[in-house]
Amino acid sequence: MSTRERILDAAAEILRTRGVAQATTKEIAQASKVSEPTLYKYFGDKERLLLAVLEERVPGLARVSVRPGEGDVEGNLAELAHAVLDFYQESLPMLGALLADPQRMAAHRTAMSRHGGGPDKAVAGFAAYLRAEQGLGRVASDADPHASASLLIGACFQEAFLRYYAEGPGAAAAPRACAEALARAVVRPLL
């Protein structure tokens, strides 16, 4: 296993159990058996490491490939929603404590913006997909892709939060039927 992979594995485990607000790069370096300078050589800063963990170690949109004009819109949105549900359920324990610390949240927001990450990316991606489908005539011309994407992403976040709240970090993944129901509720008025 490469040094980078060891660092990502250690970071993913520590971030899941301690959260980004409490985890330290020193702790992650020790767990991956590298020095802190080596960790920074690979990732530059803690936020870039977090972004790499979220992209490479947390299930999410990277595993989904839907293309406008292929399949049906409802099924495609259900596929995307299921991936987002999984992503939020895995990332909530990592990121939740940031919300309680305005200074850390501001620093995190700035760093994520600098690295091209952040929660707004999912809404933008879903909206772009819906606009493309709109251009193909598969979504109503008077539909609002951004508002629809926001509703679906928000519903996914809420479902993941409720599962985490009720069952803790060990909660079972949301079933595909949940994603299908959320997608159906949002997409049917658009068609």
Six-digit token string for 99: 């919300």
C-alpha separations of 75 from 13, 81, 118, 122, 181 in Å:
33, 10, 25, 17, 10
Q: How far apart are CA 129 and CA 126, in angstroms?
A: 5
pLDDT in 10s for each residue of the chain, 191 residues: 899 999 999 999 999 888 888 899 999 999 999 999 999 999 998 888 988 898 888 877 677 888 999 999 999 999 999 999 998 988 888 888 878 888 888 888 888 888 777 888 889 989 999 999 999 999 999 999 999 999 999 999 999 999 999 998 888 889 999 999 999 999 888 88
Residues of the chain with CATH 1.10.357: 60-190
Token duo for residue 111:
């760093």
| List of residues 6+ apart from 132 with CB closer than 8 A | 68, 69
Fold designation for 60-190: Tetracycline Repressor; domain 2 (1.10.357)
Helix (H, G, I), strand (E, B) or coil at 118: coil
Every domain range in the chain assigned CATH 1.10.10.60: 3-54
Sequence-distant (6+) residues with CB within 8 A of 115 are: 47, 48, 51
Q: How do residues 120-170 score in pLDDT, each as one tens digit?
A: 888 998 999 999 999 999 999 999 999 999 999 999 999 999 999 999 888
DSSP structure class, residue 171: P
Report CA torsion sign: 92, 90, 51, 182.
Answer: negative
Give the gyration radius of the chain's Cα atoms.
Answer: 18
| Type of residue at 123 | V
Domain 3-54 has CATH 1.10.10.60: yes
**Model pTM score:** 0.85
